[in-house]
Structure 1
Amino acid sequence: MNRIGVVLALVGFLLVVPSAASACGYDRCPDTNLSDGSASVGYSGVGVTGLVAQQPSDAVDYIWRLRHLCVLSDEREGACSSMDFRQCPQQPGRVIQYLVVQQRPVVRADGTAVVEVVPGLAPGTPVGTWEDVRQGCIDITPLNPPPSGDEVFSYFQRLPLPTLTTQHQPPGNGLAGLPVIFYTDSPTTQTFTVDIRGFTVVIQATAEQFTWHTGDPSGQIVTTHPGQPYPNQTIEHDYRSGTYTAHLTVTWSATFTVNGSAPADVPGTTTTDGPPVTFDVLQARSVLTNPYD
């Protein structure tokens, strides 16, 4: 056969092994972690380069899988050694690992195989043993691609972002005719490190919008800053006399990095609601007094 093609499937993913990153010298390539190191493959020809359409079942002579050196050493010798961990040259946005390609014969549709088989076995049944074909650095990005922005966003929405506390002045009761000052002194940035399918993802969250729910019919005050206390106040609200409950909703945006990559924007925002704060606004009344009394 002169056509070369490989289709690897592991946990529902498609793995393409391109020729450009198919192998490197044994002294340059340590291993990293692949969950179980096994993948079945439809294959025709020799070598493990390029991708063509999956072959029909009657053309498949072997199933294929990828294994880590450490996994194989543990199975064969009961332990790993430092030689099982080899460094592969990396490319931005790619996942390249040092792996062993193995093959195992299967029963063809006509009941034959490349090795002698027991009559009556169903087509596709593995026979014989796994054999090493070669080892080297293999691009497995399509099998386990770096987290996308949408995937990071799904994690971002579930992070325990801080709930910002509403501060107001004057503390305690306010006075009708004297504006109530709002601000928050809670942290407005937060950094999280999460593991997404083996990738280290650092999410830098930033409060980008503040919605102050004033608790009266006038509604809300929306700002892009957290406010400041007196005498540098920037957020004020006038109240009639009464009792009010206010709280702060914060809209968070974020950037993220994957294994130390350049930062990228998380494609979406999320919100948190801070604890409510209740206060009275009193009506001051003038009273004439005799300054000589």
Structure 2
Amino acid sequence: MIRYALTRLALLLLGLLVASVLIFLTLRVLPGDIAQLIAGTNSTPEQIAAIREQLGLNEPLPAQYVDWIGGVLRGDLGTSLLTGSSVAAEVAQKAQVTLPLGIMALAVAVLFSVPLGVLSAMRRGRSDGTALSVGAQTMAAVPVVWAGMMLVVVFAVWLGWLPAQGFPRSGWQDPAAALRSLILPALTIGIVEGAMLLRFVRSATLQAVGQDYVRTAAAKGLTRNAALIRHGLPNVGLSVITVLGLQVAGIIVGAVVIEQLFALPGIGRMLVADVGARDLPKVQGELLLLTGFVLVVGFVVDLLHRVIDPRQREAS
């Protein structure tokens, strides 16, 4: 187990290294000149040249990359070119919105998709099972922006139960207001992602029904549903863990869009603004952290599979 974990950790670090190179090079091919942007439209060529020299933009790309990644290894994500503030400090502040939003969205997706997916499989061929399956396929096809707008119309405009946009200025000093502002965004992401997860849970449950160990348990006196719950669902759970790891990336992408729609001051909204402003150090740091988060989730999922499933340990 330790050897396997170390191997996966080495692959994680290699993945981060490759991602950092791709992020660095991709941002360098974007059109425009950051020195020109900082200096302004009325700047002289001498002023632009001085800014480029000050920011190290005249250095070769390998030297710029080594300087940046060396700072990352020391915990320094750089300094914003436009505001002069620490990138790490700004990301940590925005994460107080994005991280709870992602956790709430994931909880919503799991809480409604797993039981309904199992129920849809167990009621296959009946009207309620068919309705759940059709409903999941419909919701999975709904754009996340449209789903958010519909939730705003119902719960914020018609019913007036929840705020339509914004986040409290006091942040988490007022937990109730902060949670209320995240409910609609979390529901928006969670319902759309949960619909896709529901379809997978239904498929995995139907596959488990046909396994020999479920049929054997049923032959020994258990009902089909009891045999499925006792012997089939643990194996379904392993598959669900894998899909949840993949859906983390979908939740991150959804957060970028939803934070714009609901005017939330999170990492996604900051990332969009920084790309438009060509603030390369901030964009580099934000993309590297988001990529690292997805890779770490995959690493944890692999370890969980190894711990939970004894067959993988025996095979090794």
TM over 0.5: no
TM-score bucket of the superposed structures, by smaller chain: under 0.3
Higher relative helix content? 2
Question: TM-score, structure 1 length as denominator?
Answer: 0.23
Question: TM-score, structure 2 length as denominator?
Answer: 0.22
Answer 1 or 2: higher relative contact order, Cα 8 Å, separation at least 6.
Answer: 2
Higher relative strand content? 1
